[in-house]
Amino acid sequence: MSAHIRHLRLPLSAQDIDGIVAGDLVTLSGEITVTIGLPTHQRMVDRLEQGEALPVDLVGGAFLHLSSYNREFDGDFEVLYLNPTTSTRYDLLMPQIIRSTGLRVVGGKGGLGAESVAAMQDSGCIYLSFLGGGCSLLSRALRRVVAVHWPEYISQFRLVTLEVERLGPATVAIDAHGRSLYADLRSAAEQRLPGILQSLTEARTVTEQGKQ
C-alpha cells in the first residue's frame, strides 16, 4: 500500500479514476452526498427505474454510506458529524445506483459484493473504505450543508449533500478495474486455512498424548 495520499477534487472524470488502484490512500474535496437509509436507497432505485431524476445530480460525484446527524438551525441545516456504516447491507440496490447515476466514488466500510464491483468496472467507479469509528477525524472535513433532501426521514436516512475539504484519508478498497482488497484478503485467508487447521490438529494430538 502506498503511503502517498492522493487528493481528489470532485467532480471526477473516468480518466481521473482510471489511474487509481486498490491500496491507494485518498482524500476527497468538493460536494459529496451521504445517507445510511435503506429506504432511501430503495427510493432512489425506484425513481431511477421509473425514469425520474434524483433530487441531486451525482454525475462525477461521490455517494457515501456515512451517517450524519443534521438539524435545522436558524432556518438552515447544520451537520454535526460524519461516521461510516457497513455498505454490504445495500448490496442489492447499489449496482443500479452505480450504473444509472454516473458516480465515480462510493464508500463506507466493509466493501460491496460482486455485482456492485462489476457495475463499478462498467461505470468507472471506485470504493473507498473509511476508518470505522473515525467520526472525529472525518467530521473535521465538514465545511457546509449544500442541500438536505427528503427531510421527512430521520436525520441519518435523509439524502444530504455536503461540502467537504480533504475528507479522509480513506483507502481505495475496490478500484475501477475490479481489484478488491477484500477479495485479496479472503483469498489469502483461504490459502492459509488448511495449514492453520493442520497446526490445530497437531497441537490437539500433542495435548491428548500428554494426558495419557
- Determine the length of the chain: 212
What is the CATH code of the structural domain delimited by 5-179? 3.20.130.10
Helix segments in the chain, DSSP class H? 14-18, 38-49, 94-101, 114-123, 135-139, 181-211
- DSSP string for 70-106: EEEETTEEEEEEEEE-BGGGGTTTHHHHHHHHT-SEE
Q: What is the pLDDT of residues 102-149, one digit of tens each?
A: 999 999 999 999 999 999 999 999 999 998 777 778 889 999 999 999
Give the separation between CA 123 and CA 64, rounded to whole angstroms.
16
Q: Which residue has the cell 465515480?
A: 104
Query: Do 149 and 47 touch, CB atoms closer than 8 A?
Result: no
Q: What is the pLDDT of residue 131?
A: 82
Q: What is the pLDDT of residue 194?
A: 53
Q: What is the pLDDT of residue 197?
A: 46
Paired strand residues for 28: 8, 167
* Amino acid present at 12: L
In a 10 Å sphere around its CB, with 0-12 CB exposed, 13-18 middle and 19+ buried, how is residue 150 labelled? middle
Task: Using alpha carbons, select from 68, 125, 69 the residue that is nearest to residue 94.
Answer: 125
* Amino acid present at 77: F
Task: Using alpha carbons, select from 54, 128, 135 the residue that is nearest to residue 97.
Answer: 54
In the chain, which stretches have pLDDT less than 70?
Answer: 1-3, 183-212
Q: Where are the domains of the chain?
A: 5-179, 182-212
User: Considering just the CA atoms, what is the radius of gyration of the chain in Å?
Assistant: 20
Task: Using alpha carbons, select from 126, 146, 156 the residue that is nearest to residue 28.
Answer: 126
Q: What is the pLDDT of residue 185?
A: 53
The three grid cell numbers given for residue 125, joined into one nine-digit string: 467507479
> Taking the model in full, what pTM does it have?
0.84
Q: Which residue has the cell 427528503?
A: 150
